[in-house]
Amino acid sequence: MRDLGAGFNYLIQGQRWVARHGKQYGFGLLPGLITLVLYVAALIALALYGEDFVSWATPFADHWTSPWQGVFRGLLTAVLFALALLLAVVTFTAVTLLVGQPFYESLSEKVDRDVSPDGTAPESGLPLRRELWISARDSLRIVVRALVWGVLLFALGFVPVVGQTVVPVVGFFVTGFFLTEELTAVALQRRRVELRARLALLRSRKMLVWGFGTPLGLAFLVPVVAVFLMPGAVAGATLMARDLLGEETGEPHTDQRDRGDQEDRELGATA
């Protein structure tokens, strides 16, 4: 249970870190805003044309008598939209991290330097193109795993009682796990930790992972909230990655913190 509280504490610490570094927070908002606009546009299009798509995809039901045709196609339309929402929640973090890779890499490095006893941050040494490819490849693998879980839980949702009580709770914990994997990947990829090793690392500290990812997943159900929490989530995940690897973490360096505040003041003065 101590790990559960520690995971939540990293989430809070990450939000506090970006609150002290306004410049990093502002840059960190951009990828989430871009992704949110794209997702909202896609969901609106699905809401407007989903019924037409279902009708096109089920020509065998054209001659069914009323009300069975309407009930059948209405149910399929509802299922299609529900799956789209699930896909949006599952992939929002992965897509945002991919869009904002340079922003979040920079933010994560600054967190590492700020709390590292020697003021340094690990670097992968890979070119940006290679890092983007690895990030996209690993994100796709995680999304596929998450979708398999999503389809399974969606099917179990039709089981009486269990489907309405146990399944939603399990779903939130599953979402929290994969969400944490995506967020910690920013810091762990810089340390050249491969996907399989990352998953094993997270499974070894599940309570820590759930304490961080499950409340964040609940908050991310509101897309606008996800945008504003994303920079702090990356910062908190970087702190948690250090814990998972047993790296020493100290208090933020005063000189670096003051330098960050000075940069923010200078930015405001030139604006």
Is the distance from CB of 135 to CB of 185 less than 8 angstroms?
A: yes
pLDDT for residue 240 is more than 90: yes
Is the distance from CB of 149 to CB of 86 less than 8 angstroms?
A: no
Percent of the chain with pLDDT over 90: 27
- Its sign, for the CA torsion 203, 109, 10, 2, is positive
- Of residues 122 and 223, more confidently modeled: 122
Query: What is the mean pLDDT of the segment spanning 122-139?
Result: 83
Residue with the two structure tokens 């979708």 = 147
Query: What is the mean pLDDT of the segment spanning 193-217?
Result: 93
Instruction: Transcribe 126-163 into DSSP letters.
Output: --HHHHHHHHHHHHHHHHHHHHHHHHHHHHHTTSTTHH
Query: What is the mean pLDDT of the segment spanning 219-242?
Result: 88
pLDDT for residue 31 is more than 70: yes
| Winning range, highest mean pLDDT, from 33-42, 129-138, 193-202 | 193-202
Cβ contacts of 250 within 8 Å, gap of 6 or more: 115, 116, 117
Q: What is the model's pTM?
A: 0.77
